[in-house]
Structure 1
Amino acid sequence: MSRRSLRALPVFWQILGVLLAAVVFAQAAGIAVLFISPPPRPQFNRLDEIAETLAGGSHDTQEHDHDRDLLTSVQAGAPMPRPRMVAEPPLTHMLAERLARPDGQVRLYFEPEAAKQPFRRWPRQPVYRRHGETIFFTPLIAAVQTPQGWRIAQTPPPPLIAPWQRRMILWFLISIVALVPLAWWFARALTRPISSFAAAADRLGSDPLAPAVTEEGPAELRIAAHALNRMQSRLADYVGERTAMIGAIAHDLRTPLARIAFRIEDAPDAVREKVLGDVEQMRAMLAATIGFVRNTEGERMRVPVDLTALVMALIEQDRDLGRDVSLASSAPAIVLGDPLSLERLLQNLIDNGIAYAASVEASVRREEGVAVVTIADRGPGMPAELLERAFQPFVRGDPSRNRATGGIGLGLTIARTIAENHGGTVTLANRAGGGLDAVLRLPLAP
């Protein structure tokens, strides 16, 4: 099975497969420990070695590398047994004989085998004997009385972690470290298509003309991506049909308006001027509607656009027309989009500010991967309840419908539509001290 086929499996089978692989790998590591690592050697002390140590000698640790070394010391009084230690007179007598001392000058305390290992095969024997030799696997204290005091030999305290336990821990750590790349690869392979799907769905929410979601990854994601692409196609067809219908109606209405304007020529001047004024207003509305429809249909090119250069070019054009438009501040800001559409967007915002104020200030800045263009004026501003409604078609800041103070109410609608088609937003906000800020936010080019 190819790598691509594995990624196409449902998430359930992918997770189950990785868990089974992890279990098999962990068990294989444990089996490898059993066969590769040497078994733990038992630590013990023979009775004759204890006697040799008490007599002042030391047994050869190289010959008995599995033995437990005894710690020796001298003290005034006889040693006391530790908890769980016992004394067996026969064993004490055997040690006294080997030291050639009376039993009263010898002490031997040890932990019974049964107390240390309750499931040992010889639970009734306190010590282990082999070929007549007594062997102690448990901690012990042995002592003999000398002129300098009691000479004591005792087993050192057991380490917190035995050598064989350290080896086991090391193997487990190695197996965990070996599993980390597998877990990282699986998590990345599983989350990458999910992240791509989420990003594509987010782009679709802000840009209806965004590319279709790539149908890849587990079966569940491919089904969801296919359903999302079908929904996007149906929505695009639905919006396209309604937009085309509005455009056709607006286009066809121009002919009866032309006939009305022709036939009203013979009417009295007072009537003719009023009717012609209404006809011109309707023509302007139809022209704006057709422009709006043309702007929203079809997918535009997406090329790198320098917003700062575009704003400066528009300012120069407006200055040539005698408008008071200036650039307050600027920063490099490159976005992906249609230059003509973005130019129309910015020009609509500038025209909207000029319609209600004597001057307009523009600024361009960057904020966390977003280019922000602000078109600010010192006009009358807007009521708070109208700041959002102003983006609806045919809603104007001046409700008098006086064309001297603005258009027909499609400029901001067109501006927001273009911004949304580029994955951005346009908002309005009243300025402190009077005026209005039109703020355009567009994602910077990667």
Structure 2
Amino acid sequence: MQFAITFRGPPPRPAPVPIAEIARVLRGESGHAGNWRRLDVTDSANPPIGGPRQQPNPMLDGQIAVALGVPRSDVAGLYDEPTFFETSEVRGDFTVGWHGPKGWRVARSMRPPPFTHWHVFTLIAALLTLLALAVPAWFIAQRISRPIRDLAAAAKRARLGVPEPMPGGGPREVRELAQAIEAMQGRILHQAQGRSAMLAAIAHDLGTPLSRIAFWVEQLPEAARERASADIDEMREMLGATVRFVRDDRAGAAHTRLDLGSLIESLADDLGTAGTPVEVATGPRAVVRGDPSALRRLFANLIENAVRYGERARIRWSLEPGWVEAVINDDGPGFDPARTEALFSPFVRGESSRNRATGGTGLGLAIVRSIAEAHGGQVTLENRAEGGGRVRVRLPAE
């Protein structure tokens, strides 16, 4: 735009019309003898009526009357640009009438076209300038934003217990941010390792007293012995589940390509052989990248939960653009919508919304979500319209 104004000048203004040209047109002479604006001539029985901004100017009326060779009273004009001194031309819009033998002859200045060559040139120059600036601006923006996107992707891949190297390229500020995130990740990893070691030590140390208690329990009467043994088994199960949860939360096994459908069918066969009521609806080939052991544990937990709370489990899978979705249905009481998110927290059990007669450590869904998120997936809980609960597991497809 600045280039156009610099080399082409400001927007064109209408050229002034010489008074001699106005007089010539009013006399009825044909032809256009200059590069000024054309005039529209009409005959009327009444004096001319100008536009809202046009005002009389006796000085210009007198000069036009002289050019016509008629008395001043025979000329009536209206002009939108005032003139306070004698001039040989009229600027701006105007309406001039001459009262001749046949009535009034009125000449009006014609408005110039709204879209001139100057506007065309300026528009083309602006578009070319925009195009010339947009391409390098896009590359500059990509160069600036790419390190930030890489850093965000690395932060998303980071998991507790698994160090994720941060990208080191980009501007100085991005490099400093990456170093700060890497240092923070190291501190969190150190704390997580300490926590895991502490929990493992607690589980190990508690195992010995539990074994001694189990030995002494054998000397109790049969009824009391059975109740005490059940409590000891529950404590051992809780300790084992806690250790498994910590292990899964920080596990860093390599991910490989695998057929999720085959994994689910194999797991269902194993559970079915052990007496677990599970039904599988075979779906399309679904390839994902993940840890086979962790994914088996994920679906085993969901199937066991479905059987525990809903008597049986039905599982199917399907493909969506970029995703594999596995659905596990049960015939239980469903989920309390107000507590679906809380059920994924460690040691939160679902008895308040499901069957109180069932047990569990409250770590099953926490382990499921931990494994799913480690694979870039999601887990959601729903209630089926026909009754029962539904769990959706979405994993990125290969």
Structure 2 length-normalised TM? 0.72
1:185-213 per-position Cα deviation (integer Å, ceiling 9, x unaligned): 55555555555555554555x87648344
**Distance (Å, rounded) in 2 between the aligned partners of 1:179 and 1:333:** 46
Q: Distance in 2 between matches of 1:228 and 1:41?
A: 62
The 5 Å alignment of 1:324-363 reads: 324-328=277-281, 330=283, 333-355=286-308, 358-363=311-316
1:241 aligns with 2:194: yes
Query: C-alpha root-mean-square deviation of aligned residues, in Å?
Result: 4.8
1:309 counterpart = 2:262: yes
Q: Contact between 2:144 and 2:170, CA under 8 Å: does it hold in 1?
A: yes
Choose which of 295, 305, 320 in structure 1 pairs with 2:273: 320
- Equivalent position to 1:84, from 33, 55, 69: 55
**Is contact 1:197–1:214 with CA below 8 Å preserved after alignment?**
yes
1:73 matched residue in structure 2? 42
Decide which moves more: 373-382 or 241-250: 373-382
Instruction: Tell me the equivalent position of 2:91.
Output: 137
1:227 alignment partner, SS class: helix
Q: What letter is aligned with 2:346?
A: Q
CA positional deviation for 1:234 = 1.3
* Alignment match of 1:107 (pick from 66, 75, 80): 75
Alpha-carbon distance in 1 for matches of 2:243, 2:284: 35
Distance 1:184 1:247 in 2: 53
Deviations 1:198-247 (Å, cap 9, x if unpaired)?
5554555x876483443555544443333233222211221122213323
- Cα offset, 1:85, TM superposition: 2.8
Aligned partner of 2:248 in structure 1 is 295
Question: Displacement, 1:346?
Answer: 0.8
Q: State the Cα distance separating 1:345 from its structure 2 match.
A: 1.4
Distance 1:172 1:306 in 2: 58
Are the structure 2 counterparts of residues 415 and 92 from structure 1 closer, same or farther at C-alpha, using a change threshold of 3 Å?
closer
> Counterpart of 1:84 in structure 2: which amino acid?
Q
Paired positions, count: 387
Aligned counterparts of 1:397 and 1:246: Cα–Cα separation in 2:
26
Task: Indicate if the aligned counterparts of 1:40 and 1:164 stay in contact, CA closer than 8 A.
Answer: no
Q: Judging changes above 3 Å, is the alpha-carbon distance between structure 1 residues 40 and 81 closer, same or farther for their aligned structure 2 residues? A: closer
Aligned partners of 1:348 and 1:411 also within 8 Å: yes
Q: Which residue identity does 2:96 align to in structure 1?
A: I
Take 1:38 and 1:381, find their aligned partners in 2: how far apart are those partners?
74
Superposition pairs of residues 113-132 of structure 1, within 5 angstroms: 115=82, 124-127=84-87
Q: Could you tell me whether the CA contact under 8 Å between 2:261 and 2:284 is conserved in 1?
A: yes
Work out whether residues 45 and 137 of structure 1, in 8 Å CA contact, stay in contact via their aligned partners in 2: yes
The residue type paired with residue 90 of structure 2 is F
* Secondary structure of residue in 2 paired with 1:250: helix
- Give, in whole Å, the separation in 1 of the partners of 2:273 and 2:141: 59
Deviations 1:7-60, CA, capped at 9 Å, x for gaps: xxxxxxxxxxxxxxxxxxxxxx42443324598476233344344434443345
How far did 1:76 drift?
4.1
**Letter of the 2:270 counterpart:** Q
Cα distance in 2 between the residues matched to 1:431 and 1:79: 83
Q: How does 1:365-380 map to 2 (within 5 A)?
A: 365=318, 371-379=324-332
Amino acid at match of 2:43: V
Structure 1: 5+ residue stretches without partners: 1-28, 117-123, 128-133, 399-403
Are 1:112 and 1:126, in contact at CA under 8 Å, matched by a contact in 2?
no
Report the Cα offset of residue 338 of structure 1: 1.0
1:58 aligns with 2:30: yes
Matches within 5 A, 1:7-406: 29-36=1-8, 40=12, 43-61=15-33, 64=34, 66-76=35-45, 79=48, 83-88=54-59, 91-97=63-69, 102-103=70-71, 107=75, 109=77, 111=79, 115=82, 124-127=84-87, 134-138=88-92, 139=94, 141-143=96-98, 145-146=100-101, 149-150=102-103, 152=105, 154-159=107-112, 161=114, 163=116, 166=119, 170=123, 173-174=126-127, 175-176=129-130, 178-181=132-135, 184=138, 193-194=147-148, 197-198=151-152, 200-201=154-155, 204=158, 209=162, 211-251=164-204, 288-328=241-281, 330=283, 333-355=286-308, 358-365=311-318, 371-379=324-332, 388=342, 392-393=346-347
Counterpart in the other structure of 2:394? 442
Q: State how far apart, in whole Å, the 2-side matches of 1:208 and 1:295 are.
A: 10
C-alpha separation between the residues in 2 aligned to 1:288 and 1:111? 96
* Displacement of 1:156: 2.3
Contact 1:93 1:103 (C-alpha < 8 Å) held by counterparts: yes
- State percent identity of aligned pairs: 31
Determine the C-alpha separation between the residues in 1 that align with 2:272 and 2:75.
Answer: 112
Q: CA deviation at 1:299?
A: 1.0
Relative to structure 1, the CA distance from residue 393 to residue 177 in structure 2 (aligned partners, 3 Å threshold; closer, same or farther) is: same
Contact 1:194 1:221 in 2 (8 A): yes
Which amino acid in the other structure matches residue 86 of structure 1?
A: N
Cα distance change on mapping 1:106 and 1:233 into 2, 3 Å: same
**SS in structure 2 of the partner of residue 415 of structure 1:** helix
Q: Which amino acid is 1:85 matched to?
A: P
Tell me by how many angstroms 1:409 deviates.
Answer: 5.8
Separation (CA, whole Å) in 2 of partners of 1:84 and 1:286: 99
Deviations 1:286-310 (A, max 9, x none): 5555544543444122234433332
Deviates more, 1:229-238 or 1:71-80: 71-80
Which amino acid is the alignment partner of residue 445 of structure 1? A
Deviation track 1:360-404 (CA, whole Å, cap 9, x = no partner) reads 211324678654433333357788898745863596969xxxxx9
- Cα distance in 1, alignment partners of residues 163 and 281 from structure 2: 33
CA distance in 1, matches of 2:23, 2:220: 141
C-alpha distance in 2 between matches for 1:44 and 1:211: 76
